[in-house]
Amino acid sequence: MQDNKNKHNTDLIAAIFMLAVVVVFWIQLMSLKTHRFYINLDIIFPQFVLISMIVLSLILLIKSLREPDRKTLFLTTNKKKIIIVVVAGILWVSLFSVLGFIISSIVFITFLTIILEEKSKNNPKKIILSVIFSLIIVAVAYFLFSNVLEVPLPKGFWA
């Protein structure tokens, strides 16, 4: 029988975390409103997504309080990689305004594919494949956001 003190209500933690994320994004979204007396069509979809996230987070919160499911956090033994990925994700988003979406995303995805690969498998061929993979992913994402969804992406300091 495992020690119960190392187990946490992971659904409760996830629900609280997601509600906090929604609050941050909701505040940012409301700061985009420029006129109060008409519906700004640009924010309808983000509002829908955030409201959906609130509803789903509240459902998860209620479930976690009614039927707590206690689990050990971070079952993986490689906590170092988890920390590296989280820090890299924060850096990636914070570098959008400096480097822009394209360059920061290529660097981020390439870095992640190299870091998450087993050390024994990192050779020049794998690194080149990681760069090619990240170029394709970023190109597709850029096309979808810019042309299909018409969402402007950060261009960086030279734009």
pLDDT digits 0-9 by tens, 79-94: 777 788 888 888 888 8
Q: List helix spans (H) across 3-95.
A: 10-32, 44-66, 79-94
Give how far the C-alpha of residue 108 lies from the chain's centroid of Cα atoms, to the nearest Å.
Answer: 12
Q: Are residues 92 and 135 in the same domain?
A: yes
Q: Tell me: the pLDDT tens digits for 93-139?
A: 888 878 888 888 998 999 888 887 766 566 778 888 888 999 999 99
* 43: in domain: yes
Q: Are residues 89 and 143 in the same domain?
A: yes
Using DSSP's 3-state secondary structure scheme, residue 22 falls into helix
**C-alpha span between 125 and 114 (Å, rounded):** 11
Is residue 105 packed enough to be buried (19+ CB in 10 Å), middle (13-18) or exposed (0-12)? buried
Range of the domain at 49: 4-72
Q: Tell me: the pLDDT tens digits for 98-107?
A: 888 888 899 8
Number of domains into which the chain is organized: 2
The pairing of strands 7-9 and 70-72 is antiparallel
pLDDT for residue 85: 84
